[in-house]
């Protein structure tokens, strides 16, 4: 890892590139090995958590192998029950429902949604970020991956300011690694590259973004070239987003981490 948080890994079967948040709470990587694109995420394990610590409302982004992507909110009551609701979906059909969940003292999260999805994942140490996946097949087909972040307050475009690393997975399929600079006023520009493919081309792009007071993120022309919706953490150091526009036959799930200064 270099001084900006950029992270490299070389393994027996796959190589990766990614980034870590400045506080070490979140690491995201993409597989750069040809023919095996992937996006992976890890969080720092907390200790001494109780179920009550999870209470709150969270933004989430979700991608599954239908393929489909969505953005919405999850509300946890801190007592093992909650609700979830999609507000944007690539399928054009919005769903909502209830869930029951448990939380271990070291942050392991398990849940069952009213639509039959069984989820498993982990919170980071301050419970600002949750990464999770569908731990059992639904109808023997649907598998998915999601990222959630606790909602903030009084946030704005100024909370997204500086240089970021960008990591994503596109339906093509392909992994993406890139960098972009956000001006804190609703504009950004950057450079990205398809990883795990035969392409060696870099793509440049620029676009605009908005941030709601709770941290909902929307952009025109994400760094990978598509429109996006997602969220930022209250400190602006981490964001996750999905492209839900299926009209171009290419949807994606992505994350970004602010470079260490």
Give 223-235 pLDDT, tens digit per residue.
Answer: 555 678 999 999 9
Q: Which of 6-20, 23-37, 81-95, 210-224 has the lowest mean pLDDT?
A: 6-20
pLDDT of 84 over the 60 cut: yes
pLDDT band at 85 (very low <50, low <70, confident <90, very high): very high
Q: From CA 167, how far away is CA 30, in angstroms rounded?
A: 6
Provide the residue ranges of all domains of the chain, joining segments of one domain with +.
Answer: 6-43, 44-261
Hey, what CATH topology would domain 44-261 get?
A: Lipocalin (2.40.128)
How much is the pLDDT for 218?
A: 93
Does pLDDT of 14 surpass 60? Answer: no
Give the sheet arrangement for strand 26-31, strand by strand.
Answer: 6-10, 15-20, 26-31, 39-43
- pLDDT single digits (tens) 163-217: 999 898 887 777 888 889 999 999 999 877 665 555 555 677 788 999 999 999 9
């Amino acid at each position: 890892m270099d001084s900006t948080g950029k992270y490299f890994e070389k393994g027996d079967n796959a190589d990766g590139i990614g980034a870590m948040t400045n506080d070490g709470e979140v690491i995201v990587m993409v597989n750069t090995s040809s023919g095996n694109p992937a996006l992976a995420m890890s969080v720092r394990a907390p200790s001494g958590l109780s179920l009550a610590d999870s209470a709150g409302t969270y933004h989430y982004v979700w991608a599954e192998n239908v393929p489909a992507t969505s953005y919405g909110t999850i509300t946890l009551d801190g007592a093992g029950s909650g609700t979830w609701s999609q507000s944007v979906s690539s399928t054009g059909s919005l769903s909502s429902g209830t869930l029951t969940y448990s939380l271990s003292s070291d942050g392991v999260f398990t849940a069952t949604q009213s639509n039959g999805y069984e989820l498993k994942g982990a919170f980071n140490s301050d419970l600002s970020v949750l990464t999770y996946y569908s731990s059992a097949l639904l109808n023997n087909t649907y598998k998915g991956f999601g990222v959630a972040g606790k909602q903030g307050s009084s946030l704005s475009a100024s909370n997204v300011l500086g240089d970021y690393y960008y990591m994503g997975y596109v339906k093509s399929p392909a992994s993406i690694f890139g960098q972009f600079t956000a001006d804190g006023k609703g504009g950004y520009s950057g450079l990205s590259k398809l990883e795990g493919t035969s392409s060696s081309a870099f793509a440049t792009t620029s676009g605009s973004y908005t941030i709601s007071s709770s941290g909902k993120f929307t952009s025109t022309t994400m760094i990978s070239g598509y429109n996006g919706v997602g969220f930022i953490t209250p400190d602006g150091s981490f964001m996750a987003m999905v492209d839900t526009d299926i009209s171009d036959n290419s949807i994606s799930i992505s994350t970004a981490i602010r470079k260490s200064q």
